[in-house]
């Protein structure tokens, strides 16, 4: 199952812009095969980052942050396919950079997907401090704090 779709890309671009981005110089016909290929590649990257933390591929409902990452990577891929000998717009390159930052945060567990089932539960909070098990009492330590 794809994490984004043509309809998501049509929210980012109008029909003519997306048609030109998929290879039609006239801007009339959107090449859906090229869009599906870009989304498939974006989702493969996402799955490779999430493997081990979540059961991939993820199923419905797709977390909104994951949909955004898929859209951003798919847009980057479309630009890369169309303008491979030119340069990708800076805003699109930044979208890709931010998508990879978010994927790394998800992979480390700093960013949690609410709708996905984790492979393992979050780690428990462990502390090495307990109030009652102090070695030195406050009265003893005050001797070192005072300037007498």
Q: Tell me, what's the pLDDT at 83?
A: 79
- The reported pLDDT for the residue numbered 138 is 73
Domain boundaries, the chain: 6-122
pTM: 0.74
* DSSP codes joined into one string, 106-121: HHHTSS--SSSPBSSP
Select the more confidently predicted residue: 99 or 52: 99
Out of 5-14, 78-87, 122-131, the most confident range is: 5-14
Contact 4, 37 (CB under 8 A): no
Confidence of residue 56 (pLDDT cuts 50, 70, 90): confident
Q: Evaluate the CA torsion angle 4, 65, 11, 87 in order and state its sign.
A: negative
Burial (0-12, 13-18, 19+ Cβ within 10 Å), 114:
exposed
Distance CA 69, CA 71 (A): 5
Reported as a pLDDT band with limits 50, 70 and 90, residue 36 is very high
Calpha distance 38→70 (Å, rounded): 9
| pLDDT for the residue 21 | 87
Report yes or no: 51 and 108 within 8 Å, Cβ to Cβ.
Answer: no
């Amino acid at each position: 199952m794809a994490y984004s779709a043509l309809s998501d890309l049509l929210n980012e671009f109008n029909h003519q812009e997306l048609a030109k981005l998929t290879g039609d110089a006239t801007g009339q016909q959107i090449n859906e095969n090229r869009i599906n290929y870009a989304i498939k590649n974006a989702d493969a990257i996402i799955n490779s980052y999430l493997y081990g933390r979540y059961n991939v591929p993820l199923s419905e409902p797709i977390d909104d942050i994951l949909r955004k990452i898929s859209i951003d990577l798919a847009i980057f891929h479309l630009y890369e396919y169309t303008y491979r000998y030119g340069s990708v717009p800076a805003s699109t390159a930044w979208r890709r950079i931010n998508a990879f930052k978010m994927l790394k945060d998800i992979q480390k567990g700093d960013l949690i997907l609410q709708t996905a089932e984790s492979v393992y539960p979050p780690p428990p909070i462990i502390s090495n401090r307990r109030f009652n098990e102090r070695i030195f009492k406050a009265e003893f330590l005050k001797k070192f704090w005072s300037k007498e």
